Amino acid sequence: MDTRAIQFARTGGPEVLEEVRLAVPPPGPGEALVRHRAIGVNFIDTYHRSGVYPAALPCVPGVEAAGVVEAVGAGVTHVAPGDRVVYFCSSPGAYCDARTLEARWLVKLPDAIGDEEAAAGWLKACTTEFLVERCAKVQPGDAVVVTAAAGGMGLLLCRWLAEVGATVIAVTSSPEKGAMAAAAGAHHLLGYADMPARVKELTGGRGADVVFDGVGKATFDAALDSLRRRGLLVSFGNASGKVGPVDFGILAAKGSLFTTRPTLFDYYATPEDFALGTARVFAMWPKLAVAAGRRYPLAEAAQCHRDLESRATTGSSLLLP
């Protein structure tokens, strides 16, 4: 069989995305063929397209979708044809109607979670889980800064952090985005220019325990300056560009700070991590109020990328086959 797909043959702006037809191989051992019902859009898709992260060319972007299993290969027992599933995976290829992929990424969806809801929140909720609970190990009462707080990741971070009893300080580029972060549980709202002074003020001069920052280059210095002595910067993305070469001594100079640059795939690397993380995400799901923001037909993937990269979106965007 074949599928419609969105592909890029060279890296560049959204204009390099083009619609093509590609063969879908039957699932081999350990693989499954999934027909997509909703495709989750993530900032990483733009990194693959622009070349910020390497991808083998030609490349079909996309690392997350929800759909129905059509066929499974030898040795696959945890999902079967007809099952509704969601997945994130380390190899791009989700911007299409149907694909074959390693079945180990597939997780069966309960009836209570719809396809669009699943595709809008799965990768980002799993990321939020590991960032909050296993990477930063946030404690009740911690003062935590979240930048890009009305984005796909940002809203989930606000909800999860509020749920575990942290004081959430949300940073956004507009009051409208701030209002969305507040509705997601943020206690204090700031613009980027207010960092670090307002964070210090809100924490009685001490500074935040943790900063979660997916903006990267543009906020790195302000994020470090917002921390308390021995505080932790979790730099988990590069929406404004990669953080450049860093003088290690800066961490000493600014108060014996800690920093880490974690990725989802290192925290969901073993079957044990995967089972633990996904179970925790399902337990928290009812509290996360996951909902799709903008929906685009699959054919309009380029417009979706333009909107995401120009900060025009809030929450999670979807491509619909």
**Which of 35, 294 has the CB closer to ligand NDP?**
294
Q: Which stretch, 97-105, 196-204, 295-303, 309-317, contacts ligand NDP (CB under 6 A)?
A: 309-317
The answer to the question of residue 128 lying near ligand NDP (CB under 6 A) is: no
The answer to the question of residue 127 lying near ligand NDP (CB under 6 A) is: yes
Q: Residue from 98, 148, 189, 232 that binds ligand NDP (CB under 6 A)?
A: 148
Q: How far is the CB of 277 from ligand NDP (least distance, A)?
A: 12
**CB under 8 Å, gap of 24 or more: what pairs does 198-206 form?**
199/143, 199/145, 199/169, 199/226, 200/226, 202/143, 202/169, 203/143, 203/228, 206/143
Q: Residues 239-268 vs ligand NDP: string with x where CB under 6 A?
A: xx---------------------xxx----
The answer to the question of residue 218 lying near ligand NDP (CB under 6 A) is: yes
**Which of 27, 95 has the CB closer to ligand NDP?**
95
**Which of 7, 42 has the CB closer to ligand NDP?**
42
Q: Residue from 5, 14, 39, 43 that binds ligand NDP (CB under 6 A)?
A: 43
The answer to the question of residue 27 lying near ligand NDP (CB under 6 A) is: no
Closest C-alpha among 161, 160, 180 to residue 171: 180
Q: How far is the CB of 222 from ligand NDP (least distance, A)?
A: 12
Token pair recorded at residue 262: 């974690």
**Which of 48, 228 has the CB closer to ligand NDP?**
48
Residue type, 266: D
Indicate the burial class of 223 (C-beta count within 10 angstroms; 0-12, 13-18, 19 or more): buried
Q: What DSSP letter does each residue of 31-66 carry, written as one string?
A: EEEEEEEEEEE-HHHHHHHHTSS--PSSB----EEE
The answer to the question of residue 238 lying near ligand NDP (CB under 6 A) is: yes
By 3-state DSSP, what share of the chain in percent is helix, strand and coil, each rounded to 5?
35, 30, 35
Token pair recorded at residue 127: 């990321």
Q: Which stretch, 5-13, 50-58, 145-153, 162-170, contacts ligand NDP (CB under 6 A)?
A: 145-153
Is the separation of the CB atoms in 178 and 170 below 8 Å?
Answer: yes
Q: Which stretch, 37-45, 76-84, 223-231, 272-280, contacts ligand NDP (CB under 6 A)?
A: 37-45
The answer to the question of residue 154 lying near ligand NDP (CB under 6 A) is: yes
Token pair recorded at residue 79: 């999902």
Rounded Cα–Cα distance for residues 30 and 167 (Å): 44
The answer to the question of residue 170 lying near ligand NDP (CB under 6 A) is: no
The answer to the question of residue 40 lying near ligand NDP (CB under 6 A) is: no
Q: What DSSP letter does each residue of 152-172 carry, written as one string?
A: HHHHHHHHHHHHTTPEEEEE-
Residues that bind ligand NDP (CB under 6 A): 42-44, 124, 127, 148, 150-154, 172-173, 177, 214-215, 218, 236-240, 262-264, 308-309, 311, 313
